[in-house]
Amino acid sequence: MDDEDGCSPHAALLVEDDAAVLAAAPGFLCDGIDAGQVAVVVVSAPVAELLRPALAGHPVVFVDWIEVFGGGAPAAVTALRRLAARLRPGPSDVVRVLIEPMAGDDPDTWREWQRFEAVLDHVAATEPLCVACLHDARREAAPLLESARATHPVLLRGAAEVANPDHQDPAVFLETLEVPGEPLEDSEPLVAEHAVRDLRGLRRALATRAADEGLLETHETRVEDFLLAVDEMTTNALRHGRPPVDLRLWAGEGRLVCRVTDHGTGLDDPFIGYGPAHGEDLSQGGMGLWLARQLCDHVDITPDGAGVSIRLITHLR
């Protein structure tokens, strides 16, 4: 989408107080309504209560924050697209959305939220969407605010949209976002398989080791989801990569970590896996990386010498 529909496809509303929210957000939504667009709000409860009086009498759709963001940042891209598709009267009609991505206080979760903004920057530019992302300096850490400035081409300032000089190309942002090391990888792995060929045997071995460690007794669903993601990534490496395919898996310190490495040319598309490869028709397959992103807390794709490496991390909580 572009500015011909009356708004930037992806804007940031960076605020430090409630007055700044009220100076920009109602006008952004009402401009959309005046243009015949569906206006939607997906924010935290306190912000929703702040906005309701200012939007009284206007046909704004308030959606529970959990509906879009409850599944975590990677799932939020698909959830937002599905929400817009459900509310859109026609296939090309613009939906204008005010959202509030909230990463929380744990720095370990931040990079998935940073990736979310870059992926949304790409998605909103290609679909009939106008999205404004609310970032409140009272609740967000400096690295998240810095990423917000880098992932939005436009800033909302009162009633005006201002070009953002700090905006980066979303593909470049994703490719250069720092991926921290994982201390567990410096220890002896629970499972180490070189040149994987027998997927069925690998599945049995992983399930057996997880049971032997007592992981299924305390975190059965989380462990099963993680092993499903491992299976999907190993299958992808065997089908689309180049042998040998190696796998190492660690368990400890309240988390599971797995690294799958092949010697192919890697994944050229930095946005891959943030939606099923064939859209809503899941019968066509192509959903392995997308599924892994839904099931794990982190999916990190990095070059590994002569190939590509995918690291999966799940916290046992």
**Which residue is listed with tokens 């046909």?**
59
Residue 285's pLDDT is 44
Given phi > 0 = left and psi -120 to 50 = alpha, else beta, which region is 293? Answer: alpha
The DSSP output letter for 119 is H
CB distance 45 to 65 below 8 Å = yes
Domains and CATH numbers, the chain: 3-176 (3.40.50.300), 183-315 (3.30.565.10)
CA 308 to chain centre: 21
Radius of gyration of the chain (CA): 21
- Please choose, from the candidates 132, 241, 97, 259, the residue with its C-alpha nearest in 3D space to the C-alpha of residue 191: 259
Residue 3's pLDDT is 53
Q: Write b or e for each residue in 84-109: b if 16 or more Cβ atoms lie within 10 A of its Cβ, otherwise e.
A: beeebeeeeebbbbbbbbbbeeeeeb
The DSSP output letter for 103 is -
Write down the pTM of the prediction: 0.89
Residue 313's pLDDT is 96
Dihedral angle, C-alpha 189, 233, 239, 269, nearest 10 °: -120
Cα separation, 177 vs 199, whole angstroms: 32
Q: Write b or e for each residue in 27-49: b if 16 or more Cβ atoms lie within 10 A of its Cβ, otherwise e.
A: ebbbbbeeeebbbbbbbeeebbe
Tokens of 313: 């991390």
Per-residue pLDDT tens, the chain, 317 aa: give them: 445 556 789 999 999 999 999 999 999 999 999 999 999 999 999 999 999 999 999 999 999 999 999 999 989 999 999 999 999 999 999 999 999 999 988 888 899 999 999 999 999 999 999 999 999 999 999 999 999 999 999 999 998 999 999 999 999 999 999 999 999 999 999 999 999 988 888 888 888 888 888 888 889 999 999 999 999 999 999 988 889 999 999 998 889 999 999 988 777 788 888 876 545 544 444 588 999 999 999 999 987 767 889 999 999 97
Cα separation, 257 vs 253, whole angstroms: 10
Could you count the other beta carbons within 10 Å of the beta carbon of residue 6? 15
DSSP sequence for 223-278: HHHHHHHHHHHHHHHHHHS-SPPEEEEEEETTEEEEEEEE-S-----TTTTSS-TT
Q: 244: cis peptide before it, omega within 30°?
A: yes
What 3-state class would DSSP assign to 96? strand
